[in-house]
Amino acid sequence: MKISIIQPDTVWENKSRNFENLAVLISPLYNKTDIVILPEMFNTGFSMDPEHFNESPGAETFIWLKEVARKGNFGICGSYMVNEKSRFYNRLVFVTPENEFWYYDKRHLFSMGDEDKFFSAGKSRLVFTYRDIRISPYICYDLRFPVWSRNRNEYDLAIYVTNWPESRAEVWKTLLQARAIENQCYVAGSNRIGTDGNGIKYRGDSLIISPRGEIITSAETNEECSISADLSFPELYDFRKKFPVFDDADNFTIKL
């Protein structure tokens, strides 16, 4: 399976501009990859204004994702603001060219940025299968909570879509590598570049990481781009057989 990450300079609270810019970055990947991964809140930036920028579940951004997936013949995912049953969610949506879709609502809301004051937290993890690969997606701050993404041989690829600030760039790399090692899975972390409407700077550093914690490929710092990698799942399964850490894992459940 080939996966690709788009690393854009997201325009603050301007959906049409972001759709146009992303289309330019994505179009070279048409029929050349299996999955395209966008950052967190890819259509607005990390805005705390869901009153003005929320959408119903099947509205503008969902329609845009469906059309891009159809044209490109790949699955595509990223998060944006959704209003469902009078609650706002930072929701990751994964759409396929066959019009299947799955969604995950961000569990860990970034209280230091007041996200918890405007959005509701998700209640469940998501694991789904696409093109025979088991995938579990997460959003930004979730990366700091390893129990939430703990793998019991349930998934093979973890996706983290983020707006991760430049000031914590080293933390970003370290945590992504840790999640790959401890969960014996491939990890893809998408991030943006540029400066948002609150003056927060982002440098990108989008990464694709092996189950051994090795960086397979990384995006250039402060550069709009895409990166891609071919992932070998037979190699992953063989690695798990030879080094079966799941057999010795502790059993526990998360109480929500």
**Residue 158: phi, psi to the nearest 5?**
-105, 135
pLDDT tens by residue, 87-137: 999 999 999 999 999 999 999 999 999 999 999 999 999 999 999 999 999
Judge whether 241 counts as a catalytic residue: no
Average pLDDT, the chain: 97
pLDDT at 256: 76
- As a whole-number percent, the residues of the chain with pLDDT over 70 amount to 100
Q: Which residue has the tokens 């250039």?
A: 220
At the fourth CATH level, the homologous superfamily of domain 2-248 is Carbon-nitrogen hydrolase (3.60.110.10)
Q: Which of 66, 77, 106, 224 is catalytic?
A: 106
CB 42 within 8 A of CB 80: yes
Judge whether 106 counts as a catalytic residue: yes
pLDDT tens by residue, 155-214: 999 999 999 999 999 999 999 999 999 999 999 999 999 999 999 999 999 999 999 999
84 beta partners: 87
Q: Which of 115, 140, 185, 224 is catalytic?
A: 140
pLDDT at 252: 84
Helix, strand, coil shares of the chain, percent, nearest 5, are: 30, 30, 40
Per-residue pLDDT for 21 more than 90?
yes
Q: Where are the domains of the chain?
A: 2-248
Q: Which of 40, 55, 115, 224 is catalytic?
A: 40
Judge whether 140 counts as a catalytic residue: yes
pLDDT tens by residue, 45-70: 999 999 999 999 999 999 999 999 99
Say if strands 87-95 and 215-218 run parallel, antiparallel, or are unpaired: unpaired
Query: Is residue 105 within a helix (H) or strand (E), and if so which, with residue range?
Result: strand 101-105
pLDDT at 208: 98
- Residue 151 to residue 74: CA distance in whole angstroms: 25
pLDDT at 255: 79
Burial (0-12, 13-18, 19+ Cβ within 10 Å), 134: middle
Rg (CA), the chain: 17
pLDDT band (50, 70, 90) for residue 138? very high
For residues 23-39, average pLDDT: 98
